[in-house]
């Protein structure tokens, strides 16, 4: 269990800038995944195919397959969206295996026979919609697990390539912890920062970090600009002292693999660099513009920079 050794620091706040606030609002809007949009439609189609594949392979087992992750938590962004598909088998009954590893392998084998997949620590990434297709990533992670008991609340997941064999979690607890924080939009902005600055940290601890850092400032800090600033400043100065706990299993799940001294040092350095960039070049140049351009507008941008290329290397491959 991790213990917080950090004192709540008081951060000197910059002056509120309505233009910056508007920019951040617009940035968020540009990253919305709308219910009618192609992204969600594509994910739903993918979910249907994956779900059908699993159910046809294990007709005697009643798996609970539901949408999890950022889509369920309302923290999804267009430029980095993923669909987490927890696939939890009941405690007892006709499961694809007796152990968590057997269940994981059975699901991976079934999916691997149909799709191009990549095995991860607890999830199975679906990389294409057909085995031999070289289409791009489908953005779907299937997470096989087994409910702890008949109440079907907590769940065990298999953990590959780790000292521990399993972890206990609760999807609803995670979802309500994030959604109930009131900070989902700030989390989305932080995820945009993570993507555009290539911050090497998993999304899960990052979400917990946002809530842990900003919760004490709830009464005194409002708006995206100030919340983001406080988050970055606190991270830059005190990341090493921030302890994180898994809300679904605070006593049982050690988050050291995804939140440790090395990650703390790196993220503190990157937060510092980001603040320097904001001070020098402003928020828009630091976080980047609104990517929602038309295809024609993007082609125009590329045409305009084409003459400035320093080399015109013809691509090859062997």
Partner 1 sequence: MMTPELFLYNVVKQFPRLDVGEHAGKQMVAGMIEIGREQDIVARFKIAIDVPSNFPLSIPKVYEIGNALPKTLDRHFMSDDESACLFVPEEKHKYCHSKTSPLGFMRGPVYGFFFAQACFDLTGKWPLGERSHGFEGIVEYYYEAFGLRHPASVLKVLAVLSAQEMKERWPCPCGRGNRIRSCHRDLLLKLRATLPTDRFLNIAAIIRKGIKHQRVHGSVSDEHQKLL
Q: Which two structure tokens, joined as six digits, stand for 21?
A: 């606030």
Calpha distance 113→6 (Å, rounded): 49
CB of 136 to partner 1, least distance (A): 6
What does the per-residue mask of binding to partner 1 show for 124-143, with x meaning CB under 8 A? ---x------xxxx------
Between 60 and 295, whose beta carbon lies closer to partner 1? 295
Is 293 among the residues that bind partner 1 (CB under 8 A)?
A: yes
Is 219 among the residues that bind partner 1 (CB under 8 A)?
A: no
Between 7 and 302, whose beta carbon lies closer to partner 1? 302
Between 5 and 299, whose beta carbon lies closer to partner 1? 299
Calpha distance 252→237 (Å, rounded): 29
Residue 254 vs residues 88, 158, 169, 238, 260: alpha-carbon distances, Å? 22, 15, 12, 20, 11
Calpha distance 249→254 (Å, rounded): 9
- Considering only residues 56 to 95 of the shown chain, the ones binding partner 1 according to CB under 8 A are none
The footprint of partner 1 on this chain (CB under 8 A) covers a number of residues equal to 37
CA quadruple 166, 1, 208, 182: dihedral sign: positive
Is 305 among the residues that bind partner 1 (CB under 8 A)?
A: yes
Between 76 and 192, whose beta carbon lies closer to partner 1? 192
**Phi and psi for 133 in degrees, rounded to 5?**
-80, 145
Q: H/E/C letters for each residue in 175-191?
A: HHHHHCCCCHHHHHHHH
What does the per-residue mask of binding to partner 1 show for 161-200, with x meaning CB under 8 A? ----------------------------------xxxx-x
Residue 142 near residue 87 (C-beta atoms within 8 A): yes
Calpha distance 186→275 (Å, rounded): 16
Q: Residues interacting with partner 1, by CB under 8 A?
A: 127, 134-137, 195-198, 200, 270, 273, 277, 284-285, 288-289, 291, 293, 295, 298-299, 301-302, 304-306, 309-318
């Amino acid at each position: 269990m991790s213990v917080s050794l950090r004192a709540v620091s008081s951060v000197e706040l910059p002056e509120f800038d309505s233009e910056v606030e508007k920019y951040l609002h617009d940035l968020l809007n540009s990253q919305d995944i709308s219910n009618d949009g192609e992204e969600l439609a594509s994910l739903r189609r993918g979910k249907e195919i994956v779900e059908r594949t699993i159910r046809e392979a294990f007709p005697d087992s009643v798996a609970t397959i539901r949408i999890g992750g950022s889509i369920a938590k309302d923290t999804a962004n267009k430029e980095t969206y993923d669909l987490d598909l927890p696939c939890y088998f009941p405690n007892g009954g006709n499961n694809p295996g007796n152990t968590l590893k057997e269940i994981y392998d059975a699901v991976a084998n079934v999916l691997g026979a149909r799709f191009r997949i990549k095995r991860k620590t607890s999830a199975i990434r679906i990389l294409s919609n057909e085995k031999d297709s070289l289409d791009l990533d489908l953005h779907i992670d299937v997470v096989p697990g087994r409910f702890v008991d008949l109440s079907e609340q907590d769940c065990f997941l298999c953990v590959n390539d780790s000292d521990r064999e399993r972890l206990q979690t609760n999807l609803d607890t995670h979802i309500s912890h994030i959604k109930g924080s009131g900070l989902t939009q700030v989390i989305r902005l932080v995820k945009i920062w993570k993507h555009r600055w290539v911050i090497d940290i998993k999304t899960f601890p990052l979400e917990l970090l946002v809530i842990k850092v900003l919760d004490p400032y709830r009464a005194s800090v409002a708006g995206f600009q100030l919340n983001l600033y406080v988050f970055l400043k606190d991270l830059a100065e005190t990341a090493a002292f921030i302890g994180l706990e898994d809300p679904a299993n605070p006593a049982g799940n050690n988050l050291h693999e995804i939140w440790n001294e090395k990650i703390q040092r790196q993220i503190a350095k990157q937060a510092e660099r980001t603040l320097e960039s904001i001070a020098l070049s402003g928020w828009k140049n630091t976080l980047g513009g609104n990517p929602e351009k038309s295809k024609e507008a993007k082609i125009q941008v590329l045409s305009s920079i084409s003459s400035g290329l320093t080399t015109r290397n013809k691509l090859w491959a062997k």
